[in-house]
A and B are shown apart, each in its own frame.
Chain A
């Protein structure tokens, strides 16, 4: 199975509600990152949480990391229609070599209904 797997695969909520997406991974990591992708566009970095951190905030985003369970969650509070996008987690492996590729999960498609 994949290094990063998000759930749910798809999530539909109303504007103003909170959206929670989860990510599980398998190997030891330096950090875990979340990215957003609007349809047909490139991925945009949202937030990076290091392996020694448990929680991080950025605006309406809250990320948690549990290295014992090899899992992370992304919470978007007070969602807006403009948050509609695919969200991917990506892991930066602990022993990834000189260029440490990021391994991306399968993504969660979030639809926020106005």
Chain B
């Protein structure tokens, strides 16, 4: 069964550094999302992406965050200048339709900011 893959599985970075989290969504999916989860807590929406542009973003997704789909397969989340509070699990997800369809999640990237 096709799956969403995320790399790296764990990223450690120093405060103020830039990180890029990578995702390869399921190939025929059209809608892409980033979520984050702090220490097993609530899964929080960050951003949705469709037709090569951001559709919606949350308050968390400030100017330090950006997303790109540089080619037909990769979907990246960049954090420009990391803060301690950015430490979390970041999940990429994709789905075939924009509604009434399930999200398919990757296994996440654990980001630790020191």
Contacts and interface: CB of A to CB of B under 8 A. Distances in A.
A88 B102 contact: no
B75 interface: no
Which of A88, A98, A101, A103 has the most C-beta atoms of chain B within 10 angstroms of its own C-beta? Answer: A101
Contacts, number: 74
A39 B110 CA distance: 12
B87 interface: no
Main secondary structure of the interface of A (DSSP, over half): strand
Interface string A54-94: 00000000000000000000000000000000101010100
B50 A98 contact: yes
A42 B105 contact: yes
Given A41-B107, A42-B91, A43-B43, A101 B102 contact: no
B50 A101 contact: no
A104 B91 contact: no
B63 to A, nearest CB: 20
A101 B91 contact: no
A33 interface: yes
A114 interface: no
Nearest to A33: B102
A100 B110 CA distance: 25
Contacts of A45: 102-104
Given A43-B43, A48-B102, A92-B100, A99 B50 contact: yes
Interface in B81-103: 89, 91, 93, 98-103
Contacts of B44: 104
A88 B107 contact: no
Contacts of A50: 100
Given A2-B42, A99-B50, A103-B45, A42 B100 contact: no
12 contacts: A2-B42, A30-B99, A33-B102, A43-B91, A43-B93, A45-B102, A50-B100, A96-B99, A97-B55, A98-B98, A99-B48, A104-B44
Interface of B: 4, 31, 33, 35, 40-45, 48-50, 55-56, 89, 91, 93, 98-108, 110
A-B pairs with lowest CB-CB distance, top 5: A42-B105, A99-B48, A45-B102, A99-B55, A104-B43
